[in-house]
Structure 1
């Protein structure tokens, strides 16, 4: 069965009618409307387009070959906002590097991508050793780049083919080496069209960009907002309170986040008039729990809430329309426009309703594979299941989900994260959701740890709300889990932590958590 976009969203024309080179995105905005607003100043769409032309010409002036890679390791601001379009306009491929990464990770990305040019802040350039940077890779400061794009020669919009490579986005690398996901102009453009459409974005919207632009979710905030003719507000925040201040000062209407950020934000005191400014909240990078959904709905009653699911290899797969959130708070929703989502058994056959299976994403949002890594590409990018309408290459996500009779998807767990205990396959998310239903639990992570008798036992890690007594809470949690879950899902032990580590994209780093609590 094919899962179509939610019925409250009108259908879009077929993808070929929608595709433009990604550097054309600013041409959609009214020239005098604001396109960028932040600490580094503001520009309207005409000024942004002119600046983009200068930056692209400066990049082209290095004489690199078409398709050469340009890496950026910079703070949010005009340069970071324009680089994803300037490099492709110059015939180059952009490789954004998360500012939170360290020297060794950056060195791997530079070497793996074969970057010929690196643009970074002065401090980040100084942190690199000579052998961290390929010998044929030039280094330039962000400040020099910002000066170069204020005038001089200009490049017009490109005529790039839809399937031309535009960007390589590196996964966070919580397990193994980071992989470079290859994205075409069509991938980026159709992602912008799809998201702007189902979020119902308009020219009056202002998006606070708190997520890294190296993260596909974060980068799409730029493209989808500009596609709708709206304004982006980049923010490198130090504390969650900086988010509240920016929403107030910049008249923000749209905020995208990941679960660890929402957990922090709902614990703050929001002035009612500031919370009321927000028209929509979007979530990806991990499932929202029913308890967190309830807190968000209470704190932001006037904002539409969009739970979403995606993976870098296919950008975005599903979303849950706001009208369904209260009735189905733990659902991933259904397919976004231009995505075909199938739930299949190991043999590729489509599952029955409520039968767990692997989520397979088909259609034009599927990336082109992993950069210079045919072996891992063959593992994840495989022929679409026979039931696919699109056919061709699909992304086999490795995520286990189930489809309800109402055609809504529910996350079960990662194939590689399932806890196998005494012959039972246990989803950590099911245990975590049950624990989070207990008053006083702020966050929960379930792990599988070695056990001689069971093979693996469940360890439950909890972070409490402020002022909660851990001993009393453990009693309450155990009582609730015994009532809600079968015996084989009961945790062998419960431990309390003060915080959970997150990766460079702000998502819970389960590999690091497991390393801290191995046995």
Structure 2
């Protein structure tokens, strides 16, 4: 995986590779710092296959650590800085790291875990910066003078990273991401989205989430710049996008809502964004329209994917206004199948389980063979790896995918099959609604809807009646002044369900 950086550093050494709130680094500087960090890891006994766990804010140094871990043959495990000890404990037990790095805020709780030696970021950076200076001073000298330590041998099937998927349960689930699959997915996605050398990718997501991590890799392949902005205040987003000249902005629905709200009040020239790329959940049409209105000429690209295969489909950017309910075509070199419960392909246009097949399918969940066996399977005829997503959708005659709902989104109510996705989409279409989450009926409650808005319940209900069939009108509607989200900006459904259960007790 670090070869992606080496190729960029050789071709455009002085081009800006990465920017954060404290400055920018060229590809040459990023590569040098990653070599120095690999040296630091080896000096601390970290070798091939060892897990290096970090809980740090996104920064240029963290990206260098990511590439340096790859150089050392070790496995990068990045955790969100706001992850609490309750989850940290189970993750550390699962990952069994050889070494942990935290900053002034996170190092203390990490030490309390007792899982591995914990190093404070300031001390690490002081040592790595010195090593980097030594390496840069000796560049060009005869190899015998100051030999650079040999990198640990790495194989394409070695694990590059463990990516812990978001959730609110204590049981950790880490997607095993080998170099081979990561590199393939990176190149295929960069090509599908058409990243350009003059792009500036404005990334609001942490490296603990694959959506953020792959932006670092994709910009490397495209030889362009990534801006790490997940630590920035929401209120300065447009200002920072202007200052950095952002041309590509990855979003999720909650971030898109923030951007459109800021843009409505903004009186300056919009940032030069040419493309928004969405994942996590479907964008309401009203949000898409608002993005196009406030960022003239920008394309809003729909995607579908899971960390278990990185990305599965991408709507070609030049077709962003076509087939408005489709989520795109399979990545180059991959394919999508729609299967029935027995594993047989369903006819075109019919709904079934979305199954991804190809070299982007990861190799399972770390130390979780039971769940891995159910989710990651092989084609019985060809032996090709397959990801059974548990999501439902259909393909049209041209191979475009239509996403209809996740495993837990589909349900029957009053004899009618429906999904929480369409309830949420109708709610988000109501002017004044900023966020929405529907909860399917259970034995404890009927169909429920939570929204963040300045509207009252009767108004929201009337608006829903104008948009949905009678059977799809929620029995319970709650208006919140502030909506709960997961660490990755998705709806925190477990928190909402707990709130509803508390009302029913």
TM value normalised by structure 1: 0.88
Tell me which residue corresponds to 1:92: 74
Residue of structure 1 equivalent to 2:143: none
- Asked if 1:264 corresponds to 2:255, the answer is no
1:385 deviation in Å? 6.5
Q: What 5-or-longer segments of structure 1 have no aligned partner?
A: 1-18
**In 2, Cα distance between equivalents of 1:272 and 1:155:** 54
CA gap 1:480/1:42 in 2 versus in 1, 3 angstroms? closer
Is it true that 1:479 corresponds to 2:461 in the alignment? no
Taking the aligned partners of 2:457 and 2:21, their CA distance within structure 1 comes to: 42
Shift of residue 278, structure 1, vs aligned partner: 1.1
Residue 298 of structure 2 is aligned with which of 299, 303, 308? 303
Q: Deviations over 1:154-201 (max 9, x none)?
A: 556765221111111111123562201111111221122112212211
**1:494 equivalent in alignment to 2:477:** yes
Residues 1:157 and 1:249: Cα distance change in structure 2 (over 3 Å):
farther
| Structure 1 position 402 matched with structure 2 position 394 | yes
Contact 2:248/2:276, CA 8 A, preserved across alignment: yes
Partner SS for 2:223: coil
CA distance in 2, matches of 1:328, 1:28: 41
Among 320, 326, 330, the alignment partner of 1:335 is: 330
**In 1, Cα distance between equivalents of 2:478 and 2:325:** 25
Task: Name the structure 1 match of 2:97.
Answer: 115
Query: What's the CA shift for 1:66?
Result: 1.9
> Corresponding residue for 2:413?
421
CA contact (8 A) 1:56 1:155 kept: no
Aligned length: 486
Q: Determine which structure has greater relative contact order: mean sequence separation of CA pairs < 8 Å that are 6+ residues apart, divided by chain length.
A: 1
Q: CA offset at residue 325 of structure 1?
A: 2.6
Deviations 1:350-375 (A, max 9, x none): 12222111111111111111111111
Shift, 1:93, TM fit: 0.7
Pairwise CA distance, 1:258? 1.1
Q: Who is 2:138 aligned against?
A: none
Cα distance in 2 between the residues matched to 1:471 and 1:489: 16
Distance 2:193 2:320 in 1: 14
Kindly indicate whether residue 248 of structure 2 is the aligned counterpart of residue 254 of structure 1.
yes
CA change 1:276–1:357 in 2 (3 A) is: same
State the SS of the aligned residue for 1:275.
Answer: coil
Structure 2 unmatched runs, 5+: 136-147
Are 1:459 and 2:454 matched, yes or no?
Answer: no
Cα distance between partner residues in 1 of 2:270 and 2:346: 42
Would you say the 8 A contact 2:160–2:177 is kept in 1?
yes
The structure-2 alpha-carbon separation of the partners of 1:274 and 1:105, relative to structure 1 and needing over 3 Å to count, comes to farther
The answer to whether 1:167 aligns with 2:166 is no
Contact 1:289 1:329 in 2 (8 A): no
SS at match of 2:466: helix
Once the two structures are overlaid, the 10-residue window that deviates more, 292-301 or 152-161, is 152-161
Q: Which segments of structure 1 move beyond 6 Å, counting only runs of 4 or more?
A: none
CA drift of 1:257 comes to 1.6
* 2:367 counterpart SS class: coil
Separation in structure 1 between the aligned mates of residue 267 and residue 214 of structure 2, nearest angstrom:
28
